[in-house]
Amino acid sequence: MAAKLITKGSCGRLNAGIFAELWGSTYCKRASVTAFPVRLYSGEDKEFNRRRTGFYWLLLTSGVGFGLGLGYYLSRERKRLSVLPSVIAAKPTDAGSGDGDNINLREKFNFIAQVVTKVAPAVVYIEIKDHRRLDYFTGRPTTASNGSGFIVKGDGLILTNAHVVINKPHSSVQVRLHDGQTYPGVVEDVDMKSDLATVRINCKNLPVMKLGSSRDLQPGEWVVAIGSPLSLSNTITAGVVSSVNRGSDELGLRGRDIDYIQTDAAITFGNSGGPLVNLNGEAIGINSMKVTAGISFAIPIDYAKDFLKRSEAKVKGAGTSNSQQQGRPRRYMGITMLTLTPEIIAELQMRDAHIPADVTHGVIVWKVVVGSPAYTGGLKPGDIVTHINDQPVQNAGTIYQQLDASGKLDMLVIRQGKPIRLTVIPEDTV
C-alpha cells in the first residue's frame, strides 16, 4: 500500500468528504502546506478483502446450517424418548419403622404370627385327672396325661384325638380355654377307628375354629401345628407338608383306612388332638402322632367332618353316644404306639444311630401316660417293643391281642440300642 503527501495545490482537487470518511477530519488551507498520510488500496487489497468477506459468510451459513440440523435431530430424539415409561428412582427404606411410606417387614412377612393370632383362641388344653393319685401339697387329683383340642361349635363342642380322653380309668377330663378358664369335660362320642373323639363343656359363645379341606392340600404347603406339648399350652410350631396320602397300612395301623398327612412341623407329647392349620387359618388336620424329629402325622380334616356328622346324628337320634362302650372293654396299659414298617425303620436308622440293624419289626412307644401300668412297668417314650409274651410283635394288633387276653405282659424292649426286659400288668377299664 502506498502513502502520498498532498500539498495545497492538489487540495482543491480532493473531495473533503473522502478525507472525512478515511481519516475522520480534513484540513485544507491555501496559505500553507499540510501533509496528510492517506491509505490507498491497491488491487491486491481488494481481492484479499473480498476473500475474507466470503470466508465470513461461509462461516455464518455453516453455523446456521449446523444449528438447524442439530435442532431437527434433537426434536426427533425427544419424540422417540417420550414413548418410554417414566421411572421413579428407588428410595431407601427403613426396615425398623412402619411410619409413612416405609415398609414394615414384620407386618409383611410374619404370616405365621398372623395365623396364630387368628386361630389360637379356639385351641384348648385338655388334662386327664387321676382321682386315685392326689397331689401331696394341694390334695387334688394329679394329671395323668394331657393333650389338645379345638372348638368346632360355639356351644362347647370340642374335637380331639380318642387316645387323649379314653382308656383312662378312675379319671376325669378338664378343659382349659385360651383365656385361662377351666371347665369339666364330658366325652360325648368316640370313634376308635379314626382315633377321633368329641368332648362337651358347659360354655356358650365360644370362638370356633374354621374347618378347611384336606382334599386340595399339596406337598410343600406351609402348615402350623398348635397344641400343648409337655403341658405348655398354646405352643406353636411350623413346617411344610411332606406327604398328603401316607396310608395307614404303610404306618402299620391296620383297619383304619386313613391317608394321613405327613409333616415336618414339630409335634410332641401334648400336641395330640390339636389343629394343623394352613395359612388361611383353617384346620386341615388333627395332630395325631410323631415318629421322630421331622416325621409327624395328622388325621385329615375331611375324616373329622364325616365323624362330626355321624356324631351329631347319634346325639339327635338317641342322646349322647359313646362308641367306646360298644363291645367288650379292653384292658388298659397307657401307651400310644406306632407300628414299625420297613420304611419307618430305615428312616429311624438313618436319623438315630441307636437303632440296631437287626430290628425288622415291632412297635415304637410314642407316649406313656404318667401313673399308667406302662409307666409303672418302666416303659418310656422311644422304646421299641419287639416281643411280647415271647411272641414277635409284627404290628400294633399283636399288642391289642395280648391286652384282650388275661395275665401280665412280658416285653422285650430295645432302648438306646440295648435290649431290656420289662413286665407290665394291665388294668381293667371300668
Among 204, 162, 208, CA closest to 183: 204
Which string of DSSP letters, residue by residue, matches 305-322?
A: HHHHHHHHHHHHHHSS--
Grid coordinates in use for 131?
A: 382321682
Bridge partners (DSSP) listed for residue 190: 197
Q: Which residues contact 78 (CB under 8 A, 6 or more apart)?
A: none
d(CA 131, CA 124): 22
- Rounded to whole angstroms, how far apart are CA atoms 307 and 211? 13
Question: What is the maximum span of the chain, computed from C-alpha positions, in angstroms?
Answer: 170
Handedness of CA 326, 330, 335, 340 (dihedral sign): negative
Catalytic residue from among 272, 288, 296, 311: 272
Whole-angstrom distance, CA of residue 308 vs CA of residue 162: 13
Cα–Cα distance between 197 and 191 in angstroms, integer?
Answer: 6
Active site residue 148: no
Among candidate residues 130, 191, 195, 259, the one labeled active-site is 195
∠ CA 421-422-424, rounded to 5°: 155
163 is catalytic: yes
* Cβ neighbourhood burial of 82 (10 Å; 0-12, 13-18, 19+): exposed
Q: Is 272 a catalytic residue?
A: yes
CB atoms within 10 A of CB 26: 18
- Residue among 130, 163, 259, 383 flagged as catalytic: 163
Among the listed residues 160, 166, 280, 292, the one whose alpha carbon sits nearest the alpha carbon of residue 228? 160
CB 243 within 8 A of CB 218: no
Within 10 Å of residue 420's Cβ, how many Cβ atoms?
12
The secondary structure of 129-182, three-state, reads EEEEEECCCCCCEEEEEEEEEEEEECCCEEEEEHHHHCCCCCEEEEEECCCCCE
What positions carry a catalytic annotation?
A: 163, 195, 272
